[in-house]
Amino acid sequence: MATGRRFEITEEQLLSNANFDEIEVPQDYIGTLSSVEDYDAGDERTPKPGWKWTFIVEGLPFTEWTSFSTASRWKIVQLIEGMGGELSEGLNDIDPDSYVGTEVGVTINWDPPDNKWDGIETRYKRIERFFPLAELEDLEALLEEDGAPLEGTPDESGMEEDPVGPDEVEVL
């Protein structure tokens, strides 16, 4: 027999019930920073402080942890610059809460296949990298200029692209 409990359920937890199968990988998306929290992955003797970032991508929460260690600061730089922040060599004051609500380009991909939890291989979708939204817009512009007309736009002959696939016949 189980004992009933009272739990507080957050909006992010409710969103996590959405379907991650609909996220195609690898692919670039727009993410929005919904929250940042302090966290410590260490213990009293060996603290390992950092920030826990939660981004909403296609209505689904993705979490990224950044450590304050010297070897891990590259990820903080990637995040801040991806969200439009400017950093310089030397000391920088970073207020992560000031970025809540900011959009950023993200590449979603599978977690590396060698990731194991209690000896069991796990595979899940995660944010692989962060980049400025301008890069995503540049890519869309490049695709438009690449000669491949976007759906519903006239091709070089002036005719609109046929919405019926090449192997399909449209019955009139």
pLDDT tens digits for 78-101?
999 999 999 999 999 999 999 999
Domain that holds residue 26: 11-145
pLDDT value of residue 103: 94
DSSP code of 163? S
Residue 1 within any structural domain of the chain = no
What is the structure's pLDDT at 157?
A: 42
Query: For residue 166, is it within any domain?
Result: no
Q: Which parts of the chain register pLDDT below 50? A: 148-172
pLDDT at 3: 56
Q: How many Cα neighbours within 13 Å face the side chain of 87? A: 19
Sequence-distant (≥ 6) Cβ neighbours of residue 130 within 8 angstroms: 31, 78, 79, 82, 83, 104, 105, 106
Q: 73 near 81, Cβ under 8 Å? A: no
The answer to whether 64 and 127 have CB atoms below 8 angstroms apart is yes
Residue 124 covered by a domain: yes
Domain-embedded: residue 68: yes
Count of structural domains within the chain: 1
Is residue 167 assigned to a domain? no
Is residue 64 in some structural domain? yes
Strand order from edge to edge, sheet including 103-110: 60-67, 49-57, 27-40, 103-110, 125-131
pLDDT score at 150: 42
Q: Is the residue at 22 inside a domain?
A: yes
Dihedral class, residue 101 (left if φ above 0, else alpha if ψ from -120 to 50, else beta): left
Q: Are 4 and 28 in contact (CB under 8 A)?
A: no
- The answer to whether residue 129 is domain-embedded is yes
State how far the Cα of 52 lies from the Cα of 161, in Å rounded to an integer: 46
Q: What is the pLDDT of residue 164?
A: 42
